[in-house]
Amino acid sequence: MRVATKTVYDMVKFNLANITSDLNKANKIVSTAKRINAPSDDPIGLTQVLSIKSSLSNVEQLERNIAVGKSWLSASESSLNHVQKLISDAKALCIQMATATTGAPQRLSAAKAVQNIYEEIISLANTDVDGRYIFAGSETGTAPFDQNGIYRGNNTPFAVKIGRDAMAEVGNDGQEIFQPSGAGGTDDIFQTLKDLKSALENNDVSGIKATICSLDEEFDRISAKISDIGSKMVRMEVKEGIFQDLKLANTERLSRIQDADIAEAITTLKEKQVAYQAALASSAKIMELSLLDFL
């Protein structure tokens, strides 16, 4: 086929342009270490990348939620452990004061000890985490129990989101723990302690003996609550473990789709470089030749 002079130069220009464009693309992949630098590089891949990133973001947020939940649960557990110990101290005092060997003066000083226990439990029931009361239901802004043991919170425990459609109760309904039948009822810890104190002050041995039973019940109730909280903690930790695995799996998937295989990328770059050099050399050779050189 007849080849015009112009064609030779046009071909050189066209081929060099193509090769430099490929070289540029290969270079971009190596320098950003990412396969996908624009939606058109791999549209389907990009959609998957965005979806995975969204999942990762969700999982990280849920981990943050669980961290908040765990702090509430461990604060609840530690407070209730103390309450349990105090009740057990009260009971020991009770038994000691109910014996015949103690007299009225010892009972009077025991009454003061019971007052201390009472105030201590009130203060534990008003535990707060970062300024929010954990035994007040969702009325986290006000201390649940006043000095008289009257409950001012509500009955909806605070909950955090630990899954797409899953909530976990991490707060507590203070009333349910400390006075299930309401203030002044037979299972009201505060009432029991008040009764014990007045029995001690009045040197009323049968009164003292009567509170031992209530104290036992209240102790068992607190124990049950503590193990409930314990199992909630376990559930949180299990969830945490699942989320960590999920994060790892998603991060791997993400990397597989969006990250460039460096070895492959560099090999391609080298390949294009060589092609470019070859094209330059051959173009130079072709452009040199002309009939005029030989005349």
Partner 1 sequence: MAGLGLVLSIARDALAAQRYGIDVTSHNIANVNTPGYSRQSPVQVTKEPAPCGKLLLGRGVDTTQVIRACDQFVENELMQKKSGMTSYKEMENYVQILEQLFNETSETSTSSMLADFWNLWQDISNNPSGDSERIALYRKSEMLSEHFTRLSEDLTQLGNDLTSAINAGINEINQITDEIAQLNAQITATEASSTANDFRDKRNVLLSKLSQDLNIKAFEQSNGSLTIVTARGCILVNQNSSYHLEVSGDNGDRVVWHSSGDTTVDITNYITTGKLGGWLDMRDKILTKYSLDLDALVKEFIWAVNQQHAQGVGLEGFSTLEGTYAVSSTQEELGTLDSGLPYYNKIKDGTFKIWVYDSSGNVVGEGPTTIFIDANPGGTTLEDLRDTINDKTTNPNLQNLTATIAQGKLEINADAGFTFAFSDDTSNVLPALGINTFFQGSSAGSIAVNPMMDNKDFIAAAQIDTDGSFTSGDNTNAIAIAGLQHISTDIPEWTCNRVNGNTEGSITATIEGYYRSMVGSIGIVSQNISRAKDFNEAMVNRLSEIRDSVSGVSLDEEIANLMKYQHAYSAAAKLISISDEMLNTLLNVK
Q: Report the candidate in 229, 39, 194 with the shortest Cα–Cα distance to residue 122.
A: 194
Q: Is position 263 an interface residue for partner 1 (rule: CB under 8 A)? A: no
Q: Is position 165 an interface residue for partner 1 (rule: CB under 8 A)? A: yes
Q: Is position 171 an interface residue for partner 1 (rule: CB under 8 A)? A: yes
Classify residue 205 as exposed, middle or buried by CB count within 10 Å of its CB (0-12, 13-18, 19+): middle
Count the site residues for partner 1 by CB under 8 A: 57
Within 184-243, the residues that bind partner 1 by CB under 8 A are none
Taking CB under 8 A as the criterion, the residue among 16, 47, 76, 95 binding partner 1 is 47
* CA dist 149 → 102, 119, 226 (Å): 29, 10, 21
Q: Is position 106 an interface residue for partner 1 (rule: CB under 8 A)? A: no
Q: Is position 43 an interface residue for partner 1 (rule: CB under 8 A)? A: yes
Query: Which residues 6+ apart lie within 8 Å of 53 measured at CB?
Result: 254
Q: Is position 251 an interface residue for partner 1 (rule: CB under 8 A)? A: no
Q: Is position 250 an interface residue for partner 1 (rule: CB under 8 A)? A: no
Measured distance CA(146)–CA(50) in Å, rounded: 52
Taking CB under 8 A as the criterion, the residue among 95, 119, 141, 264 binding partner 1 is 141
Q: Is position 99 an interface residue for partner 1 (rule: CB under 8 A)? A: no
In this structure, what is the dihedral angle of CA atoms 168, 171, 177, 180, given to the nearest 10 degrees?
-80
Nearer of residues 58 and 115 to partner 1, judged by Cβ: 58
Q: Is position 37 an interface residue for partner 1 (rule: CB under 8 A)? A: yes
Q: Is position 293 an interface residue for partner 1 (rule: CB under 8 A)? A: no
Q: What is the DSSP letter of 128?
A: E
Angle at CA 206, nearest 5°, toward 81 and 105?
A: 80
In this structure, what is the dihedral angle of CA atoms 285, 288, 290, 292, given to the nearest 10 degrees?
-150
Q: How far is the CB of 192 from partner 1 (least distance, A)?
A: 28
Site string for partner 1, 49-78 (x = CB under 8 A): xxx-xx--xx-xxx-xx--x----------
Q: Is position 36 an interface residue for partner 1 (rule: CB under 8 A)? A: yes
Helices (H), the chain: 5-32, 43-98, 104-125, 174-178, 189-201, 205-258, 262-288
User: Using CB under 8 A as the criterion, which residues of the chain lie in contact with partner 1 when the complex forms?
Assistant: 1-7, 10-11, 14, 34, 36-44, 46-47, 49-51, 53-54, 57-58, 60-62, 64-65, 68, 130, 132, 136-141, 154, 156, 158-161, 164-165, 167, 171, 290-292, 295
